[in-house]
A and B are shown apart, each in its own frame.
Chain A
Amino acid sequence: MSKWHFLTDGFVKNNPTFVLVLGMCPTLATTTSAVNGLEMGLATMFVLILSNIVISLIAPRVPDKVRIPVYITVIATFVTVVQLLMQAYMPAAYETLGLFIPLIVVNCIVLGRAEGFANKHGVGESALDGIGVGLGFTVSLTVIGLVREILGSGSAFGWKFIPGDGILAFVMAPGAFIVLGFLMVLFNKYLAKK
C-alpha cells in the first residue's frame, strides 16, 4: 500500500471538521467569509505540518511523562512564529483573525495529530498527514465561510453578486451552527454512500 492514503485520509475519512468534529472554536468563529476561513485554515495547516514533522523527529527521544508539555511547547513556538509573520506581512488578515491565531495552540487538531499520529510515524508520513489534515481543515473552513458569505452578504470571496444585505443571521453565530450542521449531514451522507 502506498503512502498516499496518509494524505487523502486526513482530507476525507478523517476530515477534522465534518468527521472528527475537532477545532470547532475557530471553525465557528472565523468563517464569516470564504477568505477568512481560507486564511485561518492556511495558518493552522502551516502549524500542523511543521509540528507534525518536528514531533515525529523528536518523539523517540522524549520521555513519555513529559511528552505533552514538549509537544505543546513545539506547537506554541510555531504558532508564535506564524503570528509574527502574519503581523509583519499580512496585517489585514492578522487584524480580522486576531485572537484566533494564538488560539491555534490549543486547537485539538494539532495536538491530536501530534499525539495520535506523528509520534508513532516517520517524518515523511507525518508531513503527508499534516498536509492532508491541514488541507481538510482549510477546505472545510473555506466552504463553510463561502456558504455563510453567499447567504449572509450576497458575495463570494469578496465579490458581490447580490446587491443588498443578504440574510444577516448567517454572518452571525447562529448561522455558523446552522451551516456547519447542514454541511456535516451532506458530507457524512456522501461518505456513507461510498
Chain B
Amino acid sequence: MAASSTLKNMTLCLTLVCLICAAVVGVAYAVTKDPIEAAARAKTTASIARVLPAFSATPEEGSIRVGETDYKYYKVDGAGYAIVSATSGFGGLLTLMVGIAEDGTVHNTAVLSHSETPGLGAKCATDERFLSQFRGLDPAAKTVAVKKDGGDLDAITASTITSRAYALAVSNAVEVFRQLKQGGRGNE
C-alpha cells in the first residue's frame, strides 16, 4: 500500500507531482493564451463601440499624462476619443470609458469596472435616468458635476458619492480630451 515516508520517497513523490502539475498548467496556459487576449480585446472594442459614434477605423491606443495621472485612451479617426478614466467611488475604484466626439461633446459613457454597493451605487452602470444625462452632454454649456456640488447633473438617489465620482471621471476625461486637442504630447 502507501509507500513508506522515507526522505527519498517523499522527495521523489513531491518532485514528480509538481513536475506533472507544472506541465499541465503550462499546457493550459499555452492553449488559453490567445483566447484570453482575444476576449480582453473584444471587451475593449465593444466598450469603445458603445461610447463612440459608429466608426470603421481601427482604434489607436495611447496614453497621456494630465496632472498627476496617466490616462489611457483610444483614438478613433472620424469618431473621436474613448478615454479610460478612473476615480474613487464609494466602494473602491470606479473605472469608466468616456467617449468624446470630435466636437468635444460627450457621446456616451460605459462602466468598465466598479465595486459600488449592489442596488445603490451599482446602479450607476444601469440607471437610464442617470446615464442619459451624459449622452450628448456639452461640457462647454453645462457644468459636469452633481447638483449638490453646483453642477447640472441629477445624482442617483441615495448614491451621491458614486454619482459624484462618475461625474468627476467624466469631467476628468473632458480635461484629457482638451489636452489631447491642444496637441498635448501623448505617447502613441
Contact status of A168 and B21, CB under 8 A, knowing A63-B6, A66-B14: no
* A-B interface, 7 closest residue pairs, ranked by CB to CB distance from nearest: A88-B35, A65-B5, A88-B32, A77-B21, A63-B5, A84-B32, A168-B119
- Does A87 interact with chain B (Cβ within 8 Å)? yes
Pick the residue among B17, B32, B117 that contacts A87 (CB under 8 A).
Answer: B32
- Does A133 interact with chain B (Cβ within 8 Å)? no
Contact status of A85 and B32, CB under 8 A, knowing A73-B17, A153-B119: yes
Beta-carbon contact of B117 and A172 below 8 Å: yes
Q: Please name all residues of chain B whose beta carbon is closer than 8 Å to the beta carbon of A162 when the two chains form the complex.
A: none
Beta-carbon contact of A77 and B25 below 8 Å: yes
Give chain A interface residues in 157-188, CB to chain B under 8 Å. 165-166, 168, 171-172
Pick the residue among A69, A74, A84 that contacts B28 (CB under 8 A).
Answer: A84
Give chain A interface residues in 53-100, CB to chain B under 8 Å. 58-66, 69-70, 73-74, 76-77, 80-81, 84-85, 87-89, 91, 95
CA distance A165 to B159 in the complex (A): 14
What string of 1s and 0s marks CB contacts (under 8 Å) between B105-130 and chain A? 00000000100011110000000000
Identity of the chain B residue whose Cβ is nearest the Cβ of A171 in the assembled complex: B118
Identity of the chain B residue whose Cβ is nearest the Cβ of A71 in the assembled complex: B17
Give chain A nearest CB distance to B158 CB in angstroms.
Answer: 10
Give chain A nearest CB distance to B79 CB in angstroms.
Answer: 25
Footprint of B on A, CB under 8 Å?
Answer: 32, 58-66, 69-70, 73-74, 76-77, 80-81, 84-85, 87-89, 91, 95, 152-153, 165-166, 168, 171-172
Beta-carbon contact of B10 and A60 below 8 Å: no
Identity of the chain B residue whose Cβ is nearest the Cβ of A170 in the assembled complex: B119
Contact status of A74 and B10, CB under 8 A, knowing A32-B118, A84-B36, A87-B32: no
Beta-carbon contact of B25 and A81 below 8 Å: yes
Beta-carbon contact of A63 and B13 below 8 Å: yes
Beta-carbon contact of A165 and B21 below 8 Å: no
- Does B140 interact with chain A (Cβ within 8 Å)? no
- Does B55 interact with chain A (Cβ within 8 Å)? no
Q: How many A-B residue pairs have CB under 8 A?
A: 80
Beta-carbon contact of B2 and A60 below 8 Å: yes
Q: Please name all residues of chain A whose beta carbon is closer than 8 Å to the beta carbon of B9 when the two chains form the complex.
A: 63
Beta-carbon contact of A74 and B17 below 8 Å: yes
Give chain B interface residues in 1-57, CB to chain A under 8 Å. 1-6, 9-10, 13-14, 17-18, 21, 24-25, 28-29, 31-32, 35-36, 39-40, 43
Contact status of A87 and B25, CB under 8 A, knowing A63-B6, A66-B14: no
Beta-carbon contact of A172 and B14 below 8 Å: no
CA distance A70 to B5 in the complex (A): 13
Give chain B nearest CB distance to A121 CB in angstroms.
Answer: 14
Pick the residue among B3, B36, B118 that contacts A172 (CB under 8 A).
Answer: B118
Q: Please name all residues of chain A whose beta carbon is closer than 8 Å to the beta carbon of B31 when the two chains form the complex.
A: 84
Identity of the chain A residue whose Cβ is nearest the Cβ of B123 in the assembled complex: A165
Q: Please name all residues of chain A whose beta carbon is closer than 8 Å to the beta carbon of B24 when the two chains form the complex.
A: 77, 81
Beta-carbon contact of A73 and B4 below 8 Å: no
Identity of the chain A residue whose Cβ is nearest the Cβ of B1 in the assembled complex: A60
CA distance A70 to B17 in the complex (A): 7
Beta-carbon contact of A88 and B14 below 8 Å: no
Q: Please name all residues of chain A whose beta carbon is closer than 8 Å to the beta carbon of B1 when the two chains form the complex.
A: 60
Beta-carbon contact of A88 and B25 below 8 Å: no
Beta-carbon contact of A66 and B21 below 8 Å: no
Beta-carbon contact of B5 and A64 below 8 Å: yes
Identity of the chain B residue whose Cβ is nearest the Cβ of A82 in the assembled complex: B28
Q: A81-B24, A88-B39, A172-B118 are in contact. List 8 more A-B contacts (CB 8 A).
A: A58-B17, A63-B3, A64-B2, A70-B13, A70-B17, A88-B35, A152-B118, A172-B119
